[in-house]
Chains A and B, each alone.
Chain A
Amino acid sequence: AQRVTQPEKLLSVFKGAPVELKCNYSYSGSPELFWYVQYSRQRLQLLLRHISRESIKGFTADLNKGETSFHLKKPFAQEEDSAMYYCALTPGATNKLIFGTGTLLAVQP
């Protein structure tokens, strides 16, 4: 079955600390993986996708096919990073996304 798992509902860190938001997936083929972010009172927006291999707002994510993981990392958290983060996959070149349950990142001053 196709599934995205985000084991942490809440991750609380202090400003300047490293952040790692975990994401594991279950899919038999070669999916595309994404991270979406939803800041307070704003709409869901794409943060990054694995095929572009870019760093956005200091965040990176590497697809590990052996561990079926796509963890989101940032070396030094900022208070403005506080938001809800969703990991998602799509089986192919479509926008039919399968989302995880999300992790709320709270960055304390």
Chain B
Amino acid sequence: NAGVMQNPRHLVRRRGQEARLRCSPMKGHSHVYWYRQLPEEGLKFMVYLQKENIIDESGMPKERFSAEFPKEGPSILRIQQVVRGDSAAYFCASSPTQNTEAFFGQGTRLTVV
């Protein structure tokens, strides 16, 4: 099992462009969590998805951010019209059920120039 795979590892976008971050959970895991880590801060919860459903999006900014976890394929975190303040490391984690250990990916470092 290759673990949680995130790609790309590094992403550079100009202000106003769209950023798409992908997360492939571990095999057999149907629960996915996205976290954001701004410079000098801890990881902050963004959204929790279970196949095709958003369970908890209380940490998602109200505008420009969306997430999905389709029946087939990876989970996608989409940021539209990126701004400099979106520059951060975005981590994905997955678990087989909602209360078992979640395993983290290596993260995607987004830089907005």
Interface of A with B (CB < 8 Å)? 4, 6, 42-46, 86, 93-102
| Given the contacts A94-B48, A95-B93, A96-B48, A46 and B42 also touching, CB distance less than 8 Å | no
Please, which residue of chain B has its CB at the minimum distance from the CB of A41? B106
Chain B 1-17 interface mask (CB, 8 Å, partner A; 1/0): 00110000000000000
Give the complex CA separation of A53 and B37 in angstroms.
28
Please, which residue of chain A has its CB at the minimum distance from the CB of B58? A96
Given contacts A43-B3, A43-B104, 20 further A-B contacts (CB under 8 A): A43-B107, A44-B43, A44-B104, A45-B104, A93-B98, A93-B99, A94-B98, A95-B93, A95-B99, A95-B102, A96-B33, A96-B45, A96-B56, A97-B33, A97-B43, A98-B45, A99-B35, A99-B44, A101-B40, A102-B42
Total number of B residues with any Cβ neighbor in A under 8 Å: 25
- On chain B, the residues within 8 Å of A98 by CB distance are 45
Are A46 and B101 closer than 8 Å at their CB atoms?
yes
- On chain B, the residues within 8 Å of A94 by CB distance are 48, 98-99
- On chain A, the residues within 8 Å of B107 by CB distance are 43
Give the complex CA separation of A96 and B34 in angstroms.
9
- On chain A, the residues within 8 Å of B108 by CB distance are none
Please, which residue of chain A has its CB at the minimum distance from the CB of B107? A43
